[in-house]
Chains A and B, each alone.
Chain A
Amino acid sequence: MYKYSEKDKKILKKRTSEFKYQVERRLNGDLTEDEFKPLRLMNGLYLQLHAYMLRVAIPYGELSYLQLKKLAEISKKFDRGYGHFTTRQNIQFNWPKLTDVPKILEELASVEMHAIQTSGNCIRNISCDHLAGINNEEVEDPRPWCEIIRQWSTFHPEFSFLPRKFKIAVTASKKDRAAIEVHDIGLRLVKKNSRIGFEVYVGGGQGRSPFIAKKIKDFLDKKDLLNYLEAILSVYNELGRRDNIYKARIKILVNELGEEKIRSMIEDKYKNFVDKKLELSENKVKEIYNFFKLPIKHSKNSIIPKVDNVEFKQWVKQNVINHKIKGYSVVMVSLKPLGKPPGDMNAIQMNKLSQLSHDYSFGEIRVTHEQNILLPHVENKRIYDLWLKLKKIGLSTPNIGLISDIICCPGMDYCALATARSIPISQKISHSFNNYSQQKNIGDLKIKISGCINACGHHHVGNIGILGLDKNGEESYQITLGGSATENASIGEIVGPSFPESELMGALNTILKTYKKNRISEDEDFLKVFNRIGINEFKKDLYDNPQ
């Protein structure tokens, strides 16, 4: 894992004491709320429906056991004993007091964490493939590149007040687990003619106008990464609209100018930078790479115990993934247990998981953009032992990738912008499809729920997307079908008029029936069937002959 340099520590200390002073000035009236608001937002502090909310960054999804332990401690000491893991590898505390936030930031700084780049119109927390460095198919570990971008982007003098927020995601695999095509910039490390470089995607995004990013460069030399990012951000900073918040994201600029034009503008800028400004030396890259060495020294002849326990077998099948080193596995810890808000974890679980990570996974933990957690390096022969312990703390739900593994934003239970609730919908779905075999029979399926058009719950790219609306004061849910955030990213199509809450589960069941009666084999998952038969079959069953 990356370790802070003296410079990093100094910056963070300065920032923390700066915010402490700003809070004091707000409390004694030296700063008005109008003056204070942008300052608190720059430190991740929002005001939600009931209370303040603090968003803490988990850069590219990596946590140490000590950091998770600290998060547990903070949630207990300063909040209500739980935290919410988000879709951009952050964690949110929903109830902090303003006067406690400087203390929280100090505690976070003591384990090299912070709330910088979690809000405001800057380059946000860089997100990454959660299997980075531990899967077999990637061309190289993308995490060092996330850290390189992190260092370049934190407090970048020119790019701290962009027209709007800016999100970057990185992967090094063909299979996209980081949703790079719905980010402002998506980067994929690829190998061409035995050289490794980046494919660059620009202009993806969700919110009220969703767009899939355009690939604007097939191959960018690694050493020029920062020059190229600087060129993209410069074009955006100059031309992105500041007059209309709904048109301010780079996706709108890319769409208005068109792929060719934006590419040539970026290339023109890049020509001025290339080989000059921010070229990365091999030494610098090596230095960063050294932080990300795998803790495993050798492969082992270690196998997962064959235990005669149905639950364990189901969990292994669903939640355990091969590690690139023989004898080890990646253990996915679902944060979608029955009846709990997706992505939430309580302090006891955080504490125990921290210990389990220490004991079973070299002290490392990752968080995924699908609001789950994983222990990246578990020796196979210890997996049954680990499962027993996870089960004790309610973290052994075998549902990764299944219908109850739902992405869900906080919705109207927490969020001041919401038009409807989203968590109760996810709970209804998980109750309704609680049985493992029933879920397995439906197969891989991604349901994503947002409580308003801002799309924090990724509904546009859900195989089934659910968007909560307000129809004359009643909660109503619009369904989209066929979305995907993978390497074949697509925006879901609206199936038709929205459903009142009371009819939503019925509609979902009808959609699943249509899927099942049309699938050729049990291996044909929902998205494949949708892509083959199109939306009309679903429409017909939902609206023409409702059952």
Chain B
Amino acid sequence: MAKKLKGEQFYLSANDLISGDVVYLAKNKWSRNFNDAIKIKRIDIERYEKIAVEDENKCLIVGPIFIELTEEGKIRRLRDKIRKNGLTININQ
């Protein structure tokens, strides 16, 4: 999970096991609210990786991933921005 990550700080994200909704690791819980997400330093990654695996096994989440942040603490990759903000297109509803 943590292989080849760029940068020094991250969020931990996943999908809620039941609903599939995007969630972020907040203080002691997984939250749908991005503003609750806690920043994780590189040196703490292994510890959080363990939490992710445990929570996947505890049937809380699925597909945990670290979200790379820039030096300014902003989401680095477009895919993670889209994941946070939703579709960039007008869907056919």
Contact = CB atoms under 8 A, between A and B. Distances in A.
Interface in B1-49: 15, 17-22
Contacts of A81: 93
A168 interface: no
B77 A427 contact: no
A390 B92 CA distance: 16
A421 B59 contact: no
Nearest to A51: B20
Chain A CB within 10 Å, residue with most, of B20, B22, B56, B88: B20
Given A27-B18, A473-B77, A346 B92 contact: yes
Contacts of A345: 92
A475 B78 CA distance: 9
B59 A424 contact: no
B59 A97 contact: no
Contact of B20 (A32, A97, A340): A97
B92 A52 contact: no
B62 A421 contact: no
B17 A98 contact: yes
Interface in B74-93: 76-79, 82-83, 86-93
Interface in A49-64: 49-52
Interface in A94-121: 95-99
B89 A423 contact: yes
Nearest to B70: A473
A427 B93 CA distance: 16
Contacts of A47: 15, 20, 62-63
B57 A32 contact: yes
B59 A49 contact: no
Contacts of A442: none
A101 to B, nearest CB: 10
B50 interface: no
A413 B20 contact: no
Nearest to A101: B20
A413 B89 contact: yes
Interface in A448-493: 470, 473, 475
B20 A49 contact: no
B62 A49 contact: no
Contacts of A473: 76-78
A427 B88 CA distance: 11
A98 B21 CA distance: 10
A341 B58 contact: no
Contact of B89 (A33, A80, A95, A341): A341
A344 interface: yes
A205 to B, nearest CB: 26
Contacts of B59: 26-29
B15 to A, nearest CB: 6
Nearest to B57: A32
Interface string A427-454: 1000000000000000000000000000
B91 A82 contact: yes
A82 B92 contact: yes
Nearest to A45: B20
A82 B93 CA distance: 7
B20 A98 contact: yes
Contact of A49 (B18, B82, B90, B92): B82
A418 interface: yes
Nearest to A347: B93
A29 B22 contact: no
Interface string A333-369: 0000001110011100100000000000000000000
Given A27-B17, A95-B20, A33 B62 contact: yes
A99 B56 CA distance: 16
A375 to B, nearest CB: 19
Interface in A402-425: 412-414, 416, 418, 420-421, 423-424
Contacts of B57: 29, 32-33
A96 B18 CA distance: 10
Given A29-B58, A49-B82, A413 B88 contact: yes
B53 to A, nearest CB: 9
Contacts of A420: 78
Nearest to B17: A98
Contact of B92 (A341, A413, A414): A341
B8 to A, nearest CB: 17
A29 to B, nearest CB: 5
Nearest to B22: A50
A177 to B, nearest CB: 25
A337 B89 CA distance: 14
Nearest to B90: A339
Nearest to B79: A412
A52 B82 contact: no
B82 A98 contact: no
17 contacts: A26-B59, A29-B58, A32-B56, A32-B57, A47-B20, A49-B83, A51-B19, A82-B92, A98-B17, A98-B20, A99-B18, A346-B93, A413-B88, A424-B88, A424-B89, A473-B76, A473-B78
* Closest 4 pairs (CB-CB, A-B): A51-B20, A52-B20, A344-B92, A340-B92
Given A340-B91, A412-B82, 8 more contacts: A33-B62, A52-B15, A80-B91, A413-B88, A414-B87, A421-B82, A473-B78, A475-B78
